[in-house]
């Protein structure tokens, strides 16, 4: 049997792999998510990020509702083959469902989480809610 590149990955017991999305222009980590074999294959084939939504239990094409797609520049795997790093071009400049550039918009300061990034677009406008 010939192993494919997908067989080289250390999938979790649930068949998932952790994924970090990093903006190629700013170098910022903008998201953490999960992929399964199908979503990683679709990401590689289409050139746009497709994740596995654990809450919805379905494929989630990044930007399918908000329009803020992630164009894939490169796909890397870490030394243990259990984390994927996507270098992406964040279309629309917004990765987070809160309307911010990054999902990592809070830092710990004096034992409190402090928001450090502005809302670039109201989520109600992105999701027509």
> What is the gyration radius of the CA atoms in the chain, in angstroms?
15
Ramachandran class of 96: left when φ > 0, alpha when ψ lies in -120 to 50, beta otherwise: beta
* pLDDT at 101 > cutoff 60: yes
| pLDDT the model gives residue 125 | 87
Mean pLDDT of 22-50: 97
* pLDDT at 29 > cutoff 70: yes
- Domain boundary assignment for the chain: 5-93
What does the alpha-carbon distance between residue 66 and residue 77 come to, in Å, rounded to a whole number? 27
pLDDT in tens, 47-82: 999 999 999 999 999 998 889 999 999 999 999 999
SS3 content of the chain, % helix, strand, coil (to 5): 15, 35, 45
What does the alpha-carbon distance between residue 7 and residue 41 come to, in Å, rounded to a whole number? 12
* CATH T-level fold of 5-93: Ubiquitin-like (UB roll) (3.10.20)
* pLDDT at 1 > cutoff 80: no
Write the CB contacts of 29 (distance below 8 Å, at least 6 apart in sequence): 20, 21, 22, 102, 104
* pLDDT at 41 > cutoff 90: yes
Say if pTM beats, i.e. exceeds, 0.75: yes
What does the alpha-carbon distance between residue 90 and residue 118 come to, in Å, rounded to a whole number? 17
| pLDDT the model gives residue 107 | 95
């Amino acid at each position: 049997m010939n192993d494919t590149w997908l067989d080289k990955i250390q999938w979790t017991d649930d068949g998932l792999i952790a994924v970090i999305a990093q903006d190629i222009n700013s170098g910022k980590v903008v998201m953490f998510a999960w992929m399964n074999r199908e979503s990683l294959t679709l990401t590689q084939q289409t050139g746009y990020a497709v994740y596995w939504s654990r809450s919805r239990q379905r494929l989630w094409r990044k930007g399918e509702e908000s329009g803020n797609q992630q164009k894939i520049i490169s796909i890397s795997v870490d030394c243990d083959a259990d984390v994927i790093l996507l270098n992406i071009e964040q279309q629309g400049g917004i990765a987070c469902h809160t309307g911010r550039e990054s999902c990592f918009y809070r830092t710990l300061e004096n034992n409190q989480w402090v928001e450090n990034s502005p809302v670039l677009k109201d989520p109600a406008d992105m999701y027509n809610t």
